[in-house]
Amino acid sequence: MQYDWAPEELQQRRRLVQFWREERDNKIVCAFQPVPQESYRGRVNRISPFCIVSCIFWESQRQCYMTSVDLVVLLEFLLNIRMSMEEKNRVRRNLQIYKPVTAGKNRDETMDIYRLIMSFPSPKPRHIEKDIKVFNWNTVPLALQKVVTKYHTSVLKKKQKHQEQ
């Protein structure tokens, strides 16, 4: 998703990425593709069977990033669950090993990416105007695999336990 951007995506410094999923043999299989901003048309992000997140180009770093908000939204979608705030915070703490950057309006080194993130139209890669963690796009597959493996295993155990009762 980091390569071959359309001129509009380069100008906006954002590429929308659509994910879809299915479960096969107790495994989650997902795929993704870029989608133009115009095709989004303000749809709610959690429409089944797909989820749209932002791949954000941070010009000064010459790298692509994903916000922690989008990462959690994508995880909920892939796992087909709604996480409590406590679970979301636990996930964010577990993902600290991928060294996210904290972007904020009062941080000189990240002010540009913070302003860019705050300026995006729907689907918004943030909820409120406060400091936000951004993950290098290269770490996203590792982060997804780490969390999905933990959660998917526990969800399967709960389903099996429920079926036995």
Summarised one tens digit per residue, pLDDT across range 109-129 is 999 999 999 999 888 898 888
Position 14 in a domain: yes
Position 1 in a domain: no
Average confidence score pLDDT of the chain: 86
Position 2 in a domain: no
Distances (CA, A) of 50 to 41, 96, 139, 164: 14, 26, 21, 32
Question: Residue 43 above 90 pLDDT?
Answer: no
Position 73 in a domain: yes
Position 3 in a domain: no
What's the structural domain count of the chain? 1
Position 129 in a domain: yes
Between these two residues, 161 and 125, which has the higher pLDDT value?
125
Position 124 in a domain: yes
Closest by CA position to 147, among listed 74, 43, 69: 74
Give the domain range for residue 124. 9-164
> What's the pLDDT score for residue 36?
86
Question: Residue 52 above 60 pLDDT?
Answer: yes
Closest by CA position to 20, among listed 54, 52, 50: 50
Position 138 in a domain: yes
Question: Residue 164 above 60 pLDDT?
Answer: no
Question: Residue 162 above 50 pLDDT?
Answer: no
